[in-house]
Amino acid sequence: MKGLVYKEWKQNYRFILSMILCALAPFIIVLILEGEGSAMVSIIGLIIGFIVAGLLQVMVLDGDDRKMWSYWVSSTADGYRGFLRNKYIMIFGMIALFLLSLLIFDTGYRKYLSYAEQIDFYKIMGVALPLSILQLFLRAIDIPFYYLFGKKIGSVVKSIIMSIGAIILVMFLIVYSDSMDKLFDFGKSLIDSKYITLSVMILINLVVYYLSYRLSCLVYLKGAEHYDH
């Protein structure tokens, strides 16, 4: 187990630590626009950070779709289940690191604005937390799909899905560009509702994430038979 953990860290520590940089995206964009604190600017920066973070999370799977590796790791003491478990824990940790970094930066930025006597700013964590839950759900879909079909087919389908999602997102921002405040208020209401709604959403996604791990265990060796090499 320790060997697999070291291997994953050695190969992917750049992607893991990049979560901290991704969390800076909304604040960098606000600063580039000379402190513009509108909800639209904040939400665009947040979305960019989440998209880049999501791409990096998926990139830690690169190179796993190899027959020789699949058969070798299956013969180890921990087996492919231990290998997959490490992958799931690592990706979950990346999402948690991104969210924690975002919380720290957001807290520091709000204190800075408060010190500068600027009270017109948005608490992006009200939107960031639901988006993190969505990100966990998307990874729960990505991982078993990757191990079943490999990188090539998975990349094509993923690109199609992301393109459709990007078009829908752009259309949403255009149509509801004047309603960003309501989006922030909705996210804040989830947190302020005694955490009941948010807790249920987190619990459901954790269950889905675990079921995703179990599904990956079921399809891993079947997928390995179809890898190119």
The rounded distance, in Å, linking the Cα atoms of 45 and 202 is 24
Cα first-last separation, the chain: 25
pTM here is 0.79
Considering the domain boundaries, does residue 229 fall inside one?
no
**At residue 66, does pLDDT exceed 60?**
yes
Q: How far is CA 33 from the centre of its chain?
A: 26
Q: Which region among 2-6, 85-89, 120-124 has the lowest average model confidence (pLDDT)? A: 120-124
pLDDT digits (tens, 9 = 90+) for 151-205: 667 666 666 776 777 677 667 666 665 655 666 566 556 555 556 777 788 899 9
- At what angle are helices 196-224 and 79-115 packed, to 10 degrees? 140
Q: In this predicted structure, what is the pLDDT of residue 211?
A: 96
Give me the DSSP letters along the chain: -HHHHHHHHHHHHHHHHHHHHHTTHHHHHHHHTTT---HHHHHHHHHHHHHHHHHHHHHTTTT---HHHHHHHHTSSSHHHHHHHHHHHHHHHHHHHHHHHHHHHHHHHHHHHHHTT------THHHHHHHHHHHHHHHHHHHHHHHHHHHHHHHHHHHHHHHHHHHHHHHHHHHTGGGHHHHHHHHHHHHHTTTHHHHHHHHHHHHHHHHHHHHHHHHHHHHHTT---
220 HSE (CA, 13 A, CB side): 24
The whole domain housing 176 covers 2-224
Considering the domain boundaries, does residue 108 fall inside one?
yes
Neighbours of 148 (CB within 10 A): 19
When the pLDDT of each residue in the chain is averaged and rounded to a whole number, the result is 78
109 HSE (CA, 13 A, CB side): 25
Domain count, the chain: 1
Q: In this predicted structure, what is the pLDDT of residue 97?
A: 93
The rounded distance, in Å, linking the Cα atoms of 59 and 154 is 12
Q: Which of 84, 72, 2, 54 is nearest to 166 (CA)?
A: 54
Considering the domain boundaries, does residue 177 fall inside one?
yes
Mean pLDDT of all residues in 34-59: 77
Asked if residues 60 and 15 have their Cβ atoms less than 8 Å apart, the reply is yes
- Look up residue 54 and give its two tokens: 């999501």
Asked if residues 97 and 12 have their Cβ atoms less than 8 Å apart, the reply is no
pLDDT digits (tens, 9 = 90+) for 79-110: 888 889 999 999 999 999 999 998 888 888 77
For 5, residues 6+ apart whose C-beta sits below 8 A from its C-beta are: 86
